[in-house]
Amino acid sequence: MDNILKIVKYPDKILREPSQVVSRITEKEIKLFQDMLLTMRHFSGIGLAAPQVGINQRLIVVEVDGQILKLANPEVIKAQGKEQMEEGCLSAPGILVNIERPYEIIVRALNEENKIVEISAKGLLARAILHEIDHLNGKTIIDYMTLLKKLRFNLTNKLKRRE
């Protein structure tokens, strides 16, 4: 059975923890990839990392322009160019942060068939992969916010809690 998983939200500390390397893809990881993909689509995201569903393992799913990637231990081996764009995150609803990232990347990872693959990506696909790799390192879009924006966000949160 397929499941829509619960998404962990900022400031949950699970999102701060670096995730663990996956030694092998088994039925369990394949099922998790599928559930993550469904969950991502359900919430209209273009990427999701395992820590966002409470599992600190280096697993990500990304779907951009019909291209679906399910990757374990993704690692950037080459990056070039740069581009700024506003990014959102399913773990930080309602927040958009302008982030500069490489425009083009090559990523090495383990795929669903336990094969090491190298993937070239650019533009939005590259950005989505880099965003998810950040999650595996305990980093979120909040870390890219300016101090002013952070203060405003924290203030907004406090006001909300008071209501």
- Under the rule (CB under 5 A), what is the footprint of Zn ion? 89
89 versus 110: smaller Cβ distance to Zn ion:
89
| Beta carbons of 15 and 27 less than 8 angstroms apart | no
Instruction: For the CB of residue 131, give the shortest distance to Zn ion in the complex, in Å.
Output: 5
Residue closer to Zn ion, measured from CB, 89 or 95: 89
| Minimum CB distance to Zn ion, residue 21 (Å) | 20
Write down the residue that tokens 């907004």 correspond to: 156
Minimum distance, C-beta of residue 140 to Zn ion, in the bound complex (Å): 6
Quote the DSSP letter at residue 20. B
Q: Dihedral sign, CA of 129, 135, 141, 147?
A: negative
DSSP 137: T
Of residues 29, 63, 87, 132, which has the active-site annotation? 132
- Cα dihedral sign for 134, 49, 98, 109? positive
Confirm whether 27 is a catalytic residue. Answer: no
Tell me whether residue 50 or residue 80 sits nearer to Zn ion (CB atom): 50
* Catalytic site positions: 132
